[in-house]
Amino acid sequence: MTGAPVFISYSSKDRQIAQTLCQALEARGQKCWIAGRDVRAGENFQEAIVRALREARVMVLVFTSNANNSEEIKKEVVLAGRHHVTVVPVRAEDVIPSDAFAYEFATRQWIDLFQDWEQQIEQLVIQIAQILGTAPPTPLPLPKAQKSSDPSKMTAMALVAVLLCAGAALAIWRPWQHEPVPPVVAKLPPPVTQAAATPVEAPAPVPAPTPDSKPAPDTKPASPKPVVHAVAAPAASAKAVTEKPPANAAAPQVAAAAPAPAPVPAAAPADPDEAAWQSAGSAASREGLAQYLKNYPAGHHAQEAQLAMANLILGSPATGRNFDGNWQTTWTCPNLGQYPGYTYQFSGQVTDGAYHGLRGTKGQPSSMVLDGKIESDGMAAFTGEVIVGSSLVGLGAARGTPSDFHAVATFQNSSASGRRIEGRACTLLFQRQ
C-alpha cells in the first residue's frame, strides 16, 4: 500500500487501539495508512513513514500516556507540519499533553474517544471529510431575523439598497466605458535561424546609465538593417568547421572531472530493536523474522514481523499435507473496554495443506470466512473476514460492516493454536476431528 489520505500516528504500545480506530474509520469509507499493516517486510521503517506522511492530508494522532512520552510521535508531528498535513488529536485516555504537545495542539480541536465511542467516531469521520473536501462543511447557525411591524419601512429600506447598488455599479463602470483595456499580447522571442559558417559579430554592449547621464533626445531612428540571429557556439567549435589545426599544435587541455564524493554509509540505529528489525527485514526470510520475534516478542516491530511472516507463508505453496482432515475451529475475541467479547465455533477442512472454514452464510452479518496455508513444520497463516453482527461487539462498527484480518498459528499433531495479528487480540484454537 503506497499511501492514503489519512495517516494514523500512534505509540507501538497502543497498537491495538490504533488498529481498532483504523478499522472503524475504514468501515466508514476513510482510507487509512497505518505502519503496523502497511510497512512491508524489508522496507525501511522511517522512509516508509516519511513517504506516507508526504502523501497524506490528515494525521489522526492516537493520544495516550504512551504517546505523550513518545519521541517518535513528536517527530511525526513535526513532519506533518512540514508537509502541511492537518493533525487531528484523538484522545483514547484522559491525559493532559506535555509541554511539547501542548504547544502543537493549542489551536487544534480534540476528539475524546473515551467519552462516547460511537458518537465521537462519527464526529471524527465528519471532521476528516471536511478537511479532505469530501463533505460540505457544517453550516453556522444564522441569526434570527427581527420582525418589522411597519411594511412601509421594509419597502423603503429595500429601495435604498437597490439605489446604492446601482450607484456603486455605475461608479465602477463609468471610468472604463471610454477607455477599453487593450488585450495583453505575449511577447515571443525572435525566431532563431541556423548560423552560417561565418559567425555574426555581436553589437557592442550599451554602457549602463550613470546618475549624471542625461537621456538622448528623441530622434527618429533609421530603418534597421536585417539581423540574422545565430545560435551561439564556442569559438573552438566554429574554427573546427572552417580551419584545421596546425600539425605541430598541442592537444587541447581538457580539465579532469572532479571525482565523485564517496558515499557516506548510513549510521546504524542506536536502538538495538531497530537494528534487529532492519537485519530481519533485509533477510526477508522466515528464519530472520522468527529470530527477531524470539529476541523482541514485544518489540516495536513485532506486529510488522508477524505480518511479514504471514505473507511469506501465504505466498508460498502449502506443504502441510500431514495435517489434512476436518478441524473444529474456535474463534474467541476478549472484552475490550465497554465492548463485550464473543466466540464463534465452526468446522474447517484442510486439503493438501490448505485450510478453509466458514461460519454462517458468507457475506451476512455474524458470518466469518477463514482461509490459510499450513507448512510441513506446522507453521500456518490465515486471512479472514468477519461481518459485524452487532455494533456492540463490533467495536462501534455498524451491523453488516466487513472486517478483514490476518492470523498466524502453530499446528502440532491433532491440535493447533494461533492469534489474530491486527486489531483486537482474538485467538484461534483448532482440534482435529
| Residue 62 reports pLDDT greater than 90 | yes
Q: Rounded to an integer, what distance in angstroms lies between the CA atom of residue 111 and that of residue 94?
A: 11
Q: Which residue has the higher pLDDT, 255 or 327?
A: 327
371 close to 381: Cβ distance less than 8 angstroms: no
pTM for the predicted model, two decimal places: 0.45
pLDDT value, residue 152: 47
Q: Which of 180-194, 200-214, 264-278, 366-380 is the least confident region?
A: 180-194
CA 183 to each of CA 180, 186, 227, 314: distance values in angstroms, whole numbers, following the listed order: 9, 10, 29, 66
| Residue 397 reports pLDDT greater than 90 | no
- Mean pLDDT to the nearest integer, 139-146: 39
pLDDT value, residue 186: 39
- Which residue is it, cell 472503524? 24
CA 404 to each of CA 53, 268, 370, 382: distance values in angstroms, whole numbers, following the listed order: 24, 36, 10, 11
- pLDDT band for 7, please (50, 70, 90 cuts): very high
All structural domains of the chain, each given as residue ranges with its CATH number in brackets, are 6-132 (3.40.50.10140), 279-314 (no CATH), 321-432 (2.40.128.120)
**Radius of gyration in angstroms for the set of CA atoms belonging to the chain, rounded to a whole number:** 36
- Mean pLDDT to the nearest integer, 359-377: 94
pLDDT value, residue 113: 83
pLDDT value, residue 354: 97
